[in-house]
Amino acid sequence: MKFTDGYWLLREGVTAAHPAEVLDVIEQNGALEIHAPTRPIRSRGDLMTGPVLTIRAHSPMPDVIGLTLTHFTGGTSQGPEFELAEQEATTPHTSYDPEHATLTSGALSVRFARTGPWRVDFVADGRTLTSSGPKSMGIMRDATGAHHLREQLDLRVGTSVYGLGERFGPLVRNGQVVDIWQSDGGTCSEQAYKNVPFFLTDAGYGVFVDHPGKVSFEVASEVVSRAQFSAETQELTYYVIHGPTPKDILRKYTALTGRPALPPAWSFGLWLSTSFTTSYDEETVTSFVDGMRERELPFSVFHFDCFWMREFHWCDFRWDPRVFPDPEGMLARLKAKGLRVSVWINPYIAQRSSLFEEGRALGHLLRRPDGSVWQWDMWQPGMALVDFTSPAARDWYASKLEALLAQGVDCFKTDFGERVPLDVAWSDGSDPERMHNYYTYLYNRTVFDVLRKHRGEEEAVVFGRSATTGSQQFPVHWGGDCEATYESMAESLRGGLSLGLSGFGYWSHDIGGFEGTPSPALFKRWLAFGLLSSHSRLHGSSTYRVPWLFDEESVAVARHFTHLKLRLMPYLYEAARTAHTEGVPMMRAMVLEFPDDPGCAHLERQYMLGPDLLVAPVFSDEGEVTYYVPEGTWTHYLTGRTVTGPRWVREHHDVLSVPLLVRPGAVIPVGAVADRPDYDHAHGVTLRAYGLEEGKRRVVRVGEVAFTVVREGDTLRASCSDPAGPWGLAAGEREVRAPAGTGLLTLEPA
Give, in order, the Cα–Cα distances in Å from 147 to each of 50, 234, 394, 578, 604.
15, 7, 34, 42, 37
Give pLDDT, residue 581.
98
Tell me whether residue 369 is in a domain. Answer: no
Question: 748 pLDDT exceeds 70?
Answer: no
The answer on 204 and 137 residing in a single domain is yes
What pLDDT band is residue 187 in, cutting at 50, 70 and 90?
A: very high
The answer on 492 and 428 residing in a single domain is yes
Give pLDDT, residue 735.
54
Q: What is the pLDDT of residues 294-317, one digit of tens each?
A: 999 999 999 999 999 999 999 999
Question: 739 pLDDT exceeds 50?
Answer: no
Give pLDDT, residue 714.
74
Of 415, 491, 515, 612, the catalytic one is: 415
Give the CA diameter of the chain.
88
CB atoms within 10 A of CB 515: 18
Give pLDDT, residue 734.
54
The answer on 116 and 25 residing in a single domain is yes
The answer on 404 and 274 residing in a single domain is yes
Which residues contact residue 11 at a Cβ distance below 8 angstroms, ignoring those fewer than 6 apart?
A: 2, 3, 4, 5, 142, 143
User: Between 391-407 and 327-336, two packed helices, what is the crossing angle to 10 degrees?
Assistant: 60
What Rg do the C-alpha atoms of the chain give, in angstroms? 27
Helices and strands, number each (H, E), in the chain: 11, 44
DSSP strand pairing (176-180 vs 195-201): unpaired
Give the whole-angstrom CA distance, residue 94 versus residue 110. 10
Tell me whether residue 359 is in a domain. Answer: no
CATH number of the domain bearing residue 128 = 2.60.40.1760
Contact 558, 529 (CB under 8 A): no
Which residues contact residue 368 at a Cβ distance below 8 angstroms, ignoring those fewer than 6 apart?
A: 374, 423, 424, 425
Give pLDDT, residue 745.
64
Least confident range of 326-330, 398-402, 577-581, 709-713: 709-713
Tell me whether residue 725 is in a domain. Answer: yes
Short-list 315, 424, 432, CA closest to 372:
424
Short-list 161, 171, 227, CA closest to 200:
161
Contact 34, 101 (CB under 8 A): yes
Short-list 456, 343, 450, CA closest to 388:
450
Question: 451 pLDDT exceeds 70?
Answer: yes
Residue 37's DSSP bridge partners are 52
Give pLDDT, residue 107.
97
Specify burial of residue 596 (Cβ count, 10 A radius: 0-12, 13-18, 19+). exposed
Three-state SS string over 441-484 comes to HHHHHHHHHHHHHHHCCCCCCECECCECCCHHHCCCEECCCCEC
The answer on 462 and 557 residing in a single domain is yes
What is the DSSP code (8-state) at residue 239? E
Short-list 315, 295, 293, CA closest to 304:
315
Does the bond joining 646 to the residue before it have cis omega, within 30 degrees of 0? yes
Least confident range of 27-31, 105-109, 485-489, 720-724: 720-724
- Mean pLDDT of all residues in 327-344: 98
Least confident range of 30-34, 165-169, 746-750: 746-750
- Mean pLDDT of all residues in 474-479: 98
Mean pLDDT of the chain: 95
Say how many residues make up the chain. 750
Tell me whether residue 672 is in a domain. Answer: no
Give the whole-angstrom CA distance, residue 455 versus residue 451. 5
210 is an active site residue: no
∠ CA 670-604-508, nearest 5°, is: 55
Short-list 332, 328, 373, CA closest to 349:
373
Question: For residue 485, how far is the Cα from the chain centroid?
Answer: 23
Tell me whether residue 445 is in a domain. Answer: yes
- Mean pLDDT of all residues in 235-260: 98
Q: What is the pLDDT of residues 342-373, one digit of tens each?
A: 999 999 999 999 999 999 999 999 999 999 99
CATH number of the domain bearing residue 459 = 3.20.20.80
Give the whole-angstrom CA distance, residue 484 versus residue 516. 6
How many structural domains does the chain have?
4
The answer on 652 and 541 residing in a single domain is no
CATH number of the domain bearing residue 628 = 2.60.40.1180
Give the whole-angstrom CA distance, residue 198 versus residue 203. 15
Tell me whether residue 255 is in a domain. Answer: no
Of 151, 418, 510, 604, the catalytic one is: 418
Please identify, among 534, 552, 582, the residue that sits at the C-terminal boundary of a domain: 582
CA quadruple 576, 579, 581, 582: dihedral sign: positive
The answer on 191 and 330 residing in a single domain is no
Which residues span the domain enclosing 704?
A: 682-747
Contact 228, 16 (CB under 8 A): no
- Mean pLDDT of all residues in 381-395: 98
Question: 731 pLDDT exceeds 70?
Answer: no
The answer on 124 and 232 residing in a single domain is yes
Contact 364, 393 (CB under 8 A): yes
Give the whole-angstrom CA distance, residue 665 versus residue 315. 52
Question: Pick the residue with more confidence: 387 or 49?
Answer: 387
Q: What is the pLDDT of residues 215-245, one digit of tens each?
A: 999 999 999 999 999 999 999 999 999 999 9
Give pLDDT, residue 300.
98
Give the whole-angstrom CA distance, residue 236 versus residue 218. 16
The answer on 423 and 338 residing in a single domain is yes
481 is an active site residue: yes
Give pLDDT, residue 415.
98
Question: For residue 86, how far is the Cα from the chain centroid?
Answer: 21
What is the DSSP code (8-state) at residue 692? P
Short-list 413, 404, 360, 414, CA closest to 382:
360
Short-list 491, 561, 487, CA closest to 522:
487
Contact 694, 715 (CB under 8 A): no
Short-list 652, 666, 541, 648, CA closest to 603:
648
Give pLDDT, residue 747.
63
418 is an active site residue: yes
* Residue 492 three-state SS: helix
Please identify, among 662, 694, 709, the residue that sits at the C-terminal boundary of a domain: 662
Question: 738 pLDDT exceeds 50?
Answer: no
Share above pLDDT 70 across residues of the chain, in percent, rounded to a whole number: 96
Tell me whether residue 361 is in a domain. Answer: no
Question: For residue 230, how far is the Cα from the chain centroid?
Answer: 23
Question: 538 pLDDT exceeds 80?
Answer: yes
Question: Pick the residue with more confidence: 228 or 88?
Answer: 228
Tell me whether residue 587 is in a domain. Answer: no
Contact 261, 476 (CB under 8 A): no
- Mean pLDDT of all residues in 539-545: 98
CA quadruple 360, 365, 368, 371: dihedral sign: positive
The answer on 605 and 723 residing in a single domain is no
Question: 649 pLDDT exceeds 70?
Answer: yes
The answer on 276 and 177 residing in a single domain is no
The answer on 718 and 646 residing in a single domain is no
First to last CA, the chain: 64
Contact 613, 592 (CB under 8 A): no
Of 481, 483, 515, 678, the catalytic one is: 481
Question: DSSP string of 399-424?
Answer: HHHHHHHHHT--EEEE-------SS-
Contact 360, 324 (CB under 8 A): no
- Phi-psi category of residue 198: left, alpha or beta, with phi > 0 → left and psi -120 to 50 → alpha: beta
What is the DSSP code (8-state) at residue 386? B
Give, in order, the Cα–Cα distances in Å from 720 to each of 358, 577, 666, 709.
59, 20, 17, 9
Give, in order, the Cα–Cα distances in Å from 363 to each of 79, 352, 390.
20, 17, 9
